[in-house]
Chains A and B, each alone.
Chain A
Amino acid sequence: MSVGETVIGPPARPTPAQWVRKNLFSSPFNSALTVISVLVIVLAARGIGRWVFVTADWSPVVQSLRLFAVGPYPAEQLWRIWFIVYMVSFLMGVSGGRFGGTVRTFAVALAVAFGVLAVLPISPDYLPLDTRLRLLLNPVMAVAGYVVGRRAPIQARWLPLAWLSSFALTIVMLGGFRNVALLPYVESGKWGGLTLTFLLALVGIVASFPIGVLLALGRQSNLPVVKALCIVFIEVVRGVPLVTILFMVSIILPLFLPDNIRIDRVLRAMLGMTLFAAAYMAENVRGGLQSIPRGQYEAAKALGLTGFQTTLLIVLPQALRVVIPAIVGQFIALFMDTTLAIIVGLLELLAVGRAVLNSNPAWLFRDMEVYLFIALIFWIFTFSMSFASRRVEAAVGLGKR
């Protein structure tokens, strides 16, 4: 640097007073807006606070926590659901320890949530000590998993496999077997509450994703029959409301099947939701496929890659990351659409809410509290999903300028 040249640093950060003046009171009009906004916020917060803590009667929620969580699942078999929850906490811990970052944030959030649930100020009649202790075991499992994830030499690719097998194990644990004394059969009509909502959403997501990708690829295929079949499926399903599809699989489908074949009610709902979600998934993925420039295909061909290798190694990885926001948006929609299972008689979260309201005449006018509680649960999970999606987008956007 030549002599006499002065070093110019970035401008100093504004002091809080400067920031307030610049952003809140820069003109008389702005000042008025600021004052009015603050007033509105204070009044609204006071109103909401008063309603939540004074007016509202949360007893239908507080007294039915178990119903909301598991529905009519038999009490003596509840350990099976606890086992699943511990397994999830442990796996979250392992994943958090192995990957760090956002996964760790989620593991911590999950562990903290269970910890908070365990110490909620609720009468022991409705949240007994043993339940609190079981809830508290979850953070313990998460920490144990975390230590394993940090210490043990686990290859990153085993974790998705572990999650998938835990998913299969979950279904086995919930349903059990007809002739196994340790895991007696629990018919799916007894599954319910948040457990069933999760199950419907997860099966829908896990199954519709590969089917949707295959449909999208099929729609782009050069084989006329495959292409036509995919287009017909996608367009027919997309042209019909989910309610109709659920009715069809639950009422009309059994009419066509021989008497000795009966498909379980929950399974039928899962089937309907999966097919519905797959058609939309296919259209989202197709958008991603179309965004891949021709040069990518040509470069892959010129290197001697086969069509299958090109799709798997070059096209799909790029196409899918383009459509992550759309796919997650669809997962969120699917999660909320599980409430439609109510119309085919499944006791998912919303249905449990209605059942609770109808179970006690004193709660007849407490629907506000119950539905708000259900809305809060949905919001927590959908918000987590969109938060995760933003982080994933940021992570895979790495190589792009």
Chain B
Amino acid sequence: MQAQGADDIIICRDVHKWFDNFHVLRGITLTVKRSEVVVIFGPSGSGKSTFIRTINRLEDHQRGDIIVDGIELTNDVRNIEAIRAEVGMVFQQFNLFPHLKVIDNITLAPIWVRKWPKAKAEKLAMELLERVGIPEQAHKYPGQLSGGQQQRVAIARALAMQPKIMLFDEPTSALDPEMIKEVLDVMKELARSGMTMLVVTHEMGFAREVADRMIFFDQGRIVEQGTPQEIFTAPKEERTKLFLSQIL
């Protein structure tokens, strides 16, 4: 485990969570540094999605500490709202707001949470749409876009809050194969720009290319972690080897 420093943006100590009697997170201890790109992978039901959802408190944890950018996650609503404004999230199912145009999806949170004037929010939204490569879709509704385009809008929507951390919960799992690349390209560009990212994914090509660290989850525990090179060429644990042999 790394030493704690000023550079640590996410600190988790012995995090436990139960769904009723099901012990889904069994003591997760993890520190993420600024600008670090962490890929989390593992079999379904291993708790990896639940874990990243505890970081912006979409799920609460029952034991242990989670400290995000110096703010400890407790039941204090102000802390939770402060952290959610700092942490962007991209979902497997996009979760765009279907009744709002693409541009209004993106400007909603800056206008209502950051209290920005509309013009400023729209200017940023257009820059972000430019960055994810679909400025021409600004005035369409999400339902009129392809899956890949919707997910890129979802990324732009999260970035509009100018977050310090981005969480990705299986961002390409609901996409047709030919659309996966366009989303991964946006994520790679984001990783290179210095964003702190936690990505739950099975896209091993993406992990190899941009991850600083890979973490293997199984049964609510971190089984193994290391650089992509260590994980791909010399995994230490049998469980990791078995899983990698199944998905590669």
Contacts and interface: CB of A to CB of B under 8 A. Distances in A.
A317 B99 contact: yes
A318 B99 contact: yes
B81 A304 contact: yes
Interface residues of A, number: 22
B142 A313 contact: no
Output the residue of B93, B95, B144 with the most chain A CB within 10 A: B95
A3 interface: no
Contacts of A13: none
B142 A399 contact: yes
B232 interface: no
Contact of B95 (A299, A321, A400, A401): A299
A301 B57 CA distance: 9
B96 A299 contact: yes
Given A399-B142, A400-B143, A306 B98 contact: no
B113 A305 contact: yes
Interface in B131-161: 141-144, 157-158, 161
Given A399-B143, A401-B144, A303 B95 contact: no
Output the residue of A293, A301, A302, A304 with the most chain B CB within 10 A: A302
A314 interface: yes
A293 B99 CA distance: 13
Contact of B97 (A301, A309, A314): A314
Interface in A268-308: 293, 295-296, 298-306
A400 B97 CA distance: 11
Contacts, number: 69
B141 A305 contact: no
B22 interface: no
Contact of B157 (A301, A303, A309, A401): A303
Interface in B156-174: 157-158, 161
A142 to B, nearest CB: 32
Contact of A302 (B58, B98, B108, B144): B58
Nearest to B90: A302
A300 to B, nearest CB: 8
Nearest to B56: A302
Contact of A299 (B81, B91, B161): B91
Contact of B112 (A309, A318, A398): A309
B91 A398 contact: no
A314 B157 CA distance: 15
A92 to B, nearest CB: 28
A321 B99 contact: yes
A272 B161 CA distance: 48
Contacts of B161: 303-304
Contact of B109 (A304, A321, A398): A304
A399 B137 CA distance: 13
Nearest to B92: A295
Given A303-B113, A399-B99, A401-B143, A298 B58 contact: yes
B204 interface: no
Given A302-B88, A313-B108, A400 B96 contact: no
Nearest to A316: B99
A317 B99 CA distance: 7
Interface string A381-401: 000000000000000001111
Contact of A301 (B84, B99, B112): B84
Interface in A302-342: 302-306, 309, 313-314, 317-318, 321
Contacts of B85: 303-304
A137 B220 CA distance: 77
Nearest to B110: A303
B190 interface: no
Given A305-B109, A306-B81, A399-B141, A295 B91 contact: yes
9 contacts: A298-B95, A299-B97, A301-B56, A303-B84, A303-B113, A304-B85, A305-B109, A306-B81, A399-B142
Interface of B: 56, 58, 81, 84-85, 87-89, 91, 93, 95-101, 108-109, 112-113, 141-144, 157-158, 161
> Which 7 interchain pairs have the tightest Cβ spacing?
A399-B141, A299-B95, A303-B109, A304-B85, A295-B95, A302-B89, A304-B84
